[in-house]
Amino acid sequence: MFRKLVFVFFLSLSLVMIGVGVFIFLNPALEENVLTVEEQEELYEAMLLGNKEEYEIYLNRGSELNFQFSDGTTPIEILVEAHDIEGAKRIVETGFDVTKIEEHNPVDTVSNVIFFNESFNNDDINSLAYTLISQIEDDLNRPDSYGMSLLMNAVSTNNMKVVNEILKYDIDLNQSYNGTTALLVACETTDIQIELIERLIEEGADPSFKDAEGNNSIFAAIDFGQLNLVKYLIEHTDVNLNAQNNYGDTILHHAIYTNLDIANYLVSQDINRSIQNNEGQTAKDLAIELNFIELANRL
């Protein structure tokens, strides 16, 4: 009798397990551990409308939120943009992992979180970014959908804390993306912190690297009128002051074209004034052509 009962018990258990397997097979959303399409649409609408009472029920199901909505955004991006930082932290704590989203570039998501924080410099968002950065450690040298690296995007927001966090990992600081580098992006960022430039160079960023037009970091700083940065690069790096870009211009030529204050400063530097650009012009020739007579008299 006992054997018969045992047999019936295991038979029943087997049938239950088979039933569970069939149920999962017929419900792929469960197998993949993500929300159903209907639930995703409901969540998306609630988040966009700011209906926290409606979407809050999903916040403890972070491992089921590893997907992107139809517009390519992810739950964590929408939560951060809506300033629901606590909600964003909750889904990470309960299993959200940006690397598990299918057919999605995780660098895009982390970059967007960093971009959202540009105007606020919120430490909680920074902390959230640190967690996401750790998730994509193996993708940190991967370009985003626009061809830029995560470090470049962080640098462009002038966020020293996030830049320092990224630099803790194995980053190729001189890898070229779209013909430029993180240091060049930094030099093109308005009001960039000199400390951030210094940090990049300390970690091995090459200030002599030239972009697609042959412009190095000093050319870039001149373009954006950053005299203090130009002074720093000249005084603290070994950039060749007589380097020429693809047009044959030196930094002195370039400054005469773009920023007279910087041009006047460069006149006092050890720059070869006899160098001609591709038009056969020296810096003095160019100053005369542009009617900068006072500057020309100093050349």
Instruction: Say how far apart CA 253 and CA 229 lie, in whole Å.
Output: 18
Residue 110 · residue 138 · CB < 8 Å: no
Side chain identity, residue 110: V
What residue type is assigned to position 221 of the chain? A
3: its two tokens:
């054997």
What CATH architecture applies to the domain 35-171? Alpha Horseshoe (1.25)
pLDDT in tens, 54-80: 999 999 999 999 999 999 999 999 999
pLDDT score for 34: 82
Q: Give the pLDDT of residue 24.
A: 36
The DSSP string of 135-179 is: HTGGGTTS--TTS--HHHHHHHTT-HHHHHHHTTS---TT--BTT
HEC per residue, 174-195: CCCECCECHHHHHHCCCCCCHH
Return phi, psi of residue 177, to 5°. -125, 125
Q: How many CB atoms lie within 10 A of CB 41?
A: 13
Q: What is the DSSP letter of 211?
A: -
pLDDT computed for residue 242 by the predictor: 98
pLDDT along the chain (299 residues), means of 10: 43 43 40 81 94 94 95 97 96 97 97 97 98 98 97 98 98 94 97 97 98 97 97 97 98 97 97 97 98 96
User: Where are the domain boundaries for CATH 1.25.40.20 in the chain?
Assistant: 35-171, 180-230
This prediction's pTM: 0.86
Each residue's pLDDT tens digit, 243-260? 999 999 999 999 999 999
CATH number, domain 241-298: 1.25.40
**Domain covering 180-230 in this structure, CATH number:** 1.25.40.20
Hey, is 6 helix, strand or coil? helix
* Core vs surface per residue 171-193: b (16+ CB within 10 A) or e: bebeeebeebbbbbbbbbbeebe
Amino acid at 203: E
Q: How far is CA 173 from CA 63, 86, 158, 274, in A?
A: 33, 33, 16, 34
